[in-house]
Structure 1
Amino acid sequence: MKKTDQFPFLNRSFLKKITLFLFFMSITVHAQIDKVEPPFWYAGMQNPELQILFYGKGIAQNQVTVSNSIKITDVKRTENPNYLFVTIDTKKVVASDLIFTFKNKSKETFTQKYSLKKRRENSAQRKSFDASDMMYLLMPDRFANGNRNNDSENSTQEKYNRELPGGRHGGDIEGIIKNLDYIAELGATTIWSTPLCEDNDAAFSYHTYGQSDVYKIDPRYGTNEDYVRLAAEMHKKDLKLVMDYVTNHWGIEHWMIKDLPTKEWINQFDTYTQTNHKRTVIHDTNASEIDKKITLDGWFVPSMPDLNLKNPLTLKYLIQNAIWWIEYADLDGFRVDTYNYSDPKGIAKWTKSITDEYPNFNIVGEVWMQSQAQMAYWQKDSKIAAIQNYNSYLPSVMDFTLYEAVTKVFNEDDGSWDKGMVKLYDNFTNDFLYPNVNNMLLFAENHDTNRINQTYGNDIRKYKMAMTLMATVRGIPQLYYGSEIGMAGDKNKGDAAIRLDFPGGWEGDKNNAFTKEGRTPEQNHYFDFTAKLFQWRKTKAVVHFGKTTHYIPENNIYAYFRYNANETVMVLMNNSNETKTVNTHRFKENIKDFKTGKDVISELTFDVTNEIIIEPKSVLILELK
């Protein structure tokens, strides 16, 4: 089936004929404005050029002027007469209200008010997340229902149905706000929420990656004002808010997809074409052009049209949308979904435009690759990418090779040549490839993977080993909601199985894991360990930004040290099923003249001058004295 048959509004010949007819024949129709995007802007931005999208029936027939002696530097019309892209120069403009005047050939005029607002103090220099943070990933629909009144909404297709595993369950922004103290108690400093903008698909819209309006919070989560309030409440508690941003695709229900500004707004083929997911072709010097095109321009799924970042109008729209959310909601960072599925030059321009405006703003990209060299290619100032004269300008990448290792090693009791803890050691031996290895997001799981507690059969010893690794190696640790109370989930049973409701997030839940009293003994065991570990980490600059020395694993035991001029931390992991006695003489270059080490979790003190006894499947985090 042709895509143009499946989606009639994408039919090229029909669109060309009807739009040309409307453009030339509708000049007597009084135009109207249905949407203005960005809905407002800010004075004093580093890039003074502002592209404003005006949308309404026949709007392109009009000539446009603006008040306050502001210069219009460009007016773009496309084959669709319902769009007008007007660029103004805001360089010398203070916060004020502007009036745009539209006049058609019949001398009919109408006006549109537009506001340039004042920025927050020191907005451009805002501090972002870094290796001193721990990021808590949650899915708002599955975390907590704080407002029952927005469970369903008239303007959206899918309604509340908690009985349906893949349905809308009613979690919302209010539920997050009400449980900020719980998140802070865990030692988290940052929240990454999966997307909150409107997703008006008829089914499976709860993950919100198929967005239908990127300037509007989904009403089943709350309002734009609620999102701003979430950031404000988090900042009161010294928590940071990271938005999950999607540059690669929108949902098929997006209002602009239903009336494309131009056929070039999205990537299209003669027949429906899905991406081949082989993103190695981007840097592969032997790759064919057709493979590259299908990788980058193919759609993720039929319900997610692929955005064309090669189109300057589309790219500018996405840049401004991202900056608008940072400024409006007072955001602290982005996580970018499917980062390297987008046109490489376009996504680099998008990223650089944001970091030029906010020099300290951190952006972590989902670059799901299978080798360190492939991931390092996508980090800012990569020497690997420089071979091809490319720079993504992306500050941070997600460490998928470490993730792959973490999901296997603790089930490998055999510590032979390439088994067990050697997998971790080998991963870190390639750290030299990264321009900024300390600015990587570390995780044992996320909303797209098997739950770590499922992988390890709810063996809390293995969970402790995985979390200790996340907390003590270089980079920024991320925790997936619910793992801290032992939640499990099998991805083989579908995505809904790894995105279960957090117990206690709904009125009437029998188990309320948000409180110590409401948690089971097993849940408290998980929680208490996790909170103690990450609360300790919050104050440890030696772990955040210290150097690392590690030693080749022996007998499935891995030892590494984090150190700076003031502190040394020794981490010892016994991945075998036997109690081991470790001779410490081998580690003399790091132990130096230290005599003892106090374990962070048990608070027991160990003599480190000769031998250390360590239990099977266990970890010691020793602060050396």
Structure 2
Amino acid sequence: MRSTLRYFMLLAISCVFNYGTYAQLEKVEPPFWWAGMEKSEIQVMFYGTNIADFSVSVQEEILVTGVVKTENPNYIFVSIETQNVAAGTIHFQFKKKGKLQFTREYELKERAENSADRKGYTSSDVIYLLMPDRFANGDPNNDSVKGLEDKLDRSKSGGRHGGDITGIIDHLDYLEELGVTAIWSTPLLEDNDPAYSYHTYAQSDVYKIDPRYGSNVDYKNLASELHKRDMKLIMDYVTNHWGAQHWMIKDLPSYNWINQFPGYEQSNYRMETQFDPHKSDSDFKYCVDGWFVKTMPDLNQKNPLVLNYLIQNAIWWIEYADLDGLRVDTYSYNDKEGIATWTKAIMDEYSDFNIVGEVWLHNQAQIAYWQKDSKIGAIQNYNTYLPSVMDFTLHNAVEHMFAEGGGWGSGIMKAYDNFVNDFLYPNPDNLLVFLENHDTRRFNDIYDKNLSAYKLGLTLIATTRGIPQLYYGSEIGMRGDKSKGDGAIRQEFPGGWEADAQNAFSASGRTVQQKVFFDFTKKVLNWRKSSKAVHTGELTQYIPENNVYVYFRSLGADKVMVVLNNNEADQTLDLARFAADLKTTNGTDIITSQNITLNKTLTVAAKTPLIIQLN
């Protein structure tokens, strides 16, 4: 009896000891992985007070390829090879002086069917960019969350307004009706900055959806709901920096986990130093290693642990949430070699995936440098492996061209000149084309809510080469003066909050002007879904005359003629000039659905676009 009692006392003491030691393990990242991945060697990070005092092994016959301990004893990085390892539970064993102290289970999940073959967004898509905090509030219960400093305050343009993932899901039917086929949401991961956190580019936990937007499961559900509608989800991913409130920044694994001077120094934002053959070392360092802002410490992708952490995190989200693509913030501020390695690892895992990088430059050669297989990059033996870049030079042009008269380099000639330089890009069809985004001036503010300018602009990005991107609210004429702060270009979508006086998500709730904007957008985008010529057809453009731009999109017998009359007066075109591409006398105006006779001349109304499906 006494021996039995002694056994149970020892067992209880052992359980208490094991529980207390296990409690030291505060985080495990990635939280799980999948069997059958191209990236089969996975580096698991264990975090907890003095966790490095333990040695770590794996109970199963799985190869441990490396164990890294940093100068911070609260971290251990353990690499294991999972190739040919079946889905199931792995047991990490933590020992001291050869004695087992506790075991941590780790799951290798089954991959979803055809997960490796996922198709990314393409030029057949139209992307809708939205800021979740300003789009729609579907769940008021998560507007403010305990433990996260920035609370709901709709009176502040830079405050949190309560939009969330549920609000997006609630309005997917609206987006489907509009004709968009993919959503790019600005970041949804946790951002615990005390202010301005709705922006969410200063992330504090990159394995966790910000609870004010919802949960990881909610995000996964958003992708599922989109896929039911044959729509896609694009994640806004940040490789260059985290937020100062990130839990790892507060307890750095190593001094060089972030770029230090020591501490903070501002970036000079001179991305040209990435390829300038005459650059000074200090200018280059301040671009690449400088912090974007003081609240966003710059990650050091030259550190192999950092780079591998970022690679795994991106792949984890793609696999977990069933994503269709990424948009990478501040792509060209990263360490060049590090970001190329990161990009290649993702494309090796998902060969048909798509990633667009934000390369905010104003010269086509400099932007083209960053696209995969660029001959310009090859001059310096550099390849980013990045499929897509953003066409900021076209954006620069559309901010001015529709208010200018014709001239050698003015007005609609700016569009022509932009596409002349497409020879610089390895794949012009995979450029992101846009009138505006969450960082730029609102198009409808630049042109004072001018419907004619909007029609010309939307027609251009919807029918030229590339992947068109629409910014939320443009389709109802939303405007905002950026000179009054970023909040002005990120206003709430009317109808996204229960007490809103107006609901522009509903046809009956739109003003007359909003209805005209919406109906035009809907007509163009839904037609575009079925136009193979616009998706992948050859672009043939004619030098603008009298501020009128004519181009054709052709794919076999499928041919579309686009005319943009940027004049304040009607214009009559001599169609003989376009005889090489215009081999028919009949077409259909896709806006009005009326037949158009194309004999010798064509008259186009002032400030009007025509999209003609040639018969």
Q: Secondary structure at the match of 2:509?
A: coil
- Alignment of 1:585 with 2:576, yes or no, is yes
- Alignment of 1:602 with 2:592, yes or no, is yes
Amino acid at match of 2:516: H
Amino acid at match of 2:585: K
Give yes or no for contact 1:31–1:59 (8 Å, CA) kept in 2.
no
Give yes or no for contact 1:451–1:489 (8 Å, CA) kept in 2.
yes
- Alignment of 1:611 with 2:605, yes or no, is no
| Corresponding residue for residue 68 of structure 2 | 76
Amino acid at match of 1:583: D
- Measure, in 2, the Cα distance between the counterparts of 1:271 and 1:51: 28
| Equivalent residue runs for 1:560-571 within 5 Å | 560-571=551-562
Could you give the per-residue CA deviations for residues 591-620 of structure 1, whole angstroms, max 9, x where no partner exists?
02x012211102222221211111111111
| Corresponding residue for residue 18 of structure 1 | none
- Measure, in 1, the Cα distance between the counterparts of 2:110 and 2:104: 20
Q: Secondary structure at the match of 1:280?
A: helix
1:32 offset after TM fit, Å? 1.5
Could you give the per-residue CA deviations for residues 196-252 of structure 1, whole angstroms, max 9, x where no partner exists?
000000000001000000000000000001001111111111110000000000000
| Corresponding residue for residue 191 of structure 1 | 183
Which of 479, 486, 499 in structure 1 is aligned with 2:477? 486
Which of 215, 218, 233 in structure 1 is aligned with 2:210? 218
Give yes or no for contact 1:31–1:57 (8 Å, CA) kept in 2.
no
Distance 1:57 1:446, change over 3 A: same
1:416 offset after TM fit, Å? 1.2
Which of 316, 319, 325 in structure 1 is aligned with 2:311? 319
| Corresponding residue for residue 461 of structure 1 | 452
1:46 offset after TM fit, Å? 1.1
- Alignment of 1:553 with 2:544, yes or no, is yes
1:105 offset after TM fit, Å? 2.9
Amino acid at match of 1:291: D
- Measure, in 2, the Cα distance between the counterparts of 1:189 and 1:518: 24
| Corresponding residue for residue 39 of structure 2 | 47
- Measure, in 1, the Cα distance between the counterparts of 2:376 and 2:508: 52
Give yes or no for contact 1:574–1:619 (8 Å, CA) kept in 2.
yes
RMSD: 1.1
Could you give the per-residue CA deviations for residues 543-600 of structure 1, whole angstroms, max 9, x where no partner exists?
00000111111110110011111211111111011111111110000002x0122111
Q: Secondary structure at the match of 1:524?
A: helix
1:29 offset after TM fit, Å? 8.4
Distance 1:248 1:345, change over 3 A: same
| Equivalent residue runs for 1:62-211 within 5 Å | 62-105=54-97, 107=99, 109-211=101-203
Give the unaligned 5+ runs of structure 1: 1-27
| Corresponding residue for residue 220 of structure 2 | 228
Distance 1:620 1:347, change over 3 A: same
1:270 offset after TM fit, Å? 3.0
- Measure, in 1, the Cα distance between the counterparts of 2:488 and 2:498: 21
Give yes or no for contact 1:144–1:504 (8 Å, CA) kept in 2.
yes
The sequence identity of aligned pairs, in percent, is 59
Give yes or no for contact 2:93–2:100 (8 Å, CA) kept in 1.
no
| Equivalent residue runs for 1:331-410 within 5 Å | 331-410=323-402
| Corresponding residue for residue 515 of structure 1 | 506
- Measure, in 2, the Cα distance between the counterparts of 1:225 and 1:343: 33
1:403 offset after TM fit, Å? 0.5
- Measure, in 2, the Cα distance between the counterparts of 1:143 and 1:211: 20
Give yes or no for contact 1:559–1:573 (8 Å, CA) kept in 2.
yes
Q: Secondary structure at the match of 2:206?
A: strand
1:31 offset after TM fit, Å? 7.5
Could you give the per-residue CA deviations for residues 132-181 of structure 1, whole angstroms, max 9, x where no partner exists?
00000000000000001100000200111111111000000000000000
Distance 1:30 1:468, change over 3 A: closer
TM-score, reference length from structure 1: 0.94
Distance 1:30 1:190, change over 3 A: closer
| Corresponding residue for residue 471 of structure 1 | 462
Q: Secondary structure at the match of 1:294?
A: helix
1:71 offset after TM fit, Å? 1.1
Q: Secondary structure at the match of 1:149?
A: helix
- Measure, in 1, the Cα distance between the counterparts of 2:100 and 2:48: 15
| Equivalent residue runs for 1:235-384 within 5 Å | 235-270=227-262, 272-384=264-376
Q: Secondary structure at the match of 1:619?
A: strand
TM-score, reference length from structure 2: 0.96
Q: Secondary structure at the match of 2:452?
A: helix
- Measure, in 1, the Cα distance between the counterparts of 2:460 and 2:375: 28
- Measure, in 2, the Cα distance between the counterparts of 1:612 and 1:29: 81
Could you give the per-residue CA deviations for residues 440-464 of structure 1, whole angstroms, max 9, x where no partner exists?
1110000000100001110100000
Give yes or no for contact 1:136–1:191 (8 Å, CA) kept in 2.
yes
Amino acid at match of 1:465: L
Q: Secondary structure at the match of 1:430?
A: helix
Amino acid at match of 2:225: E
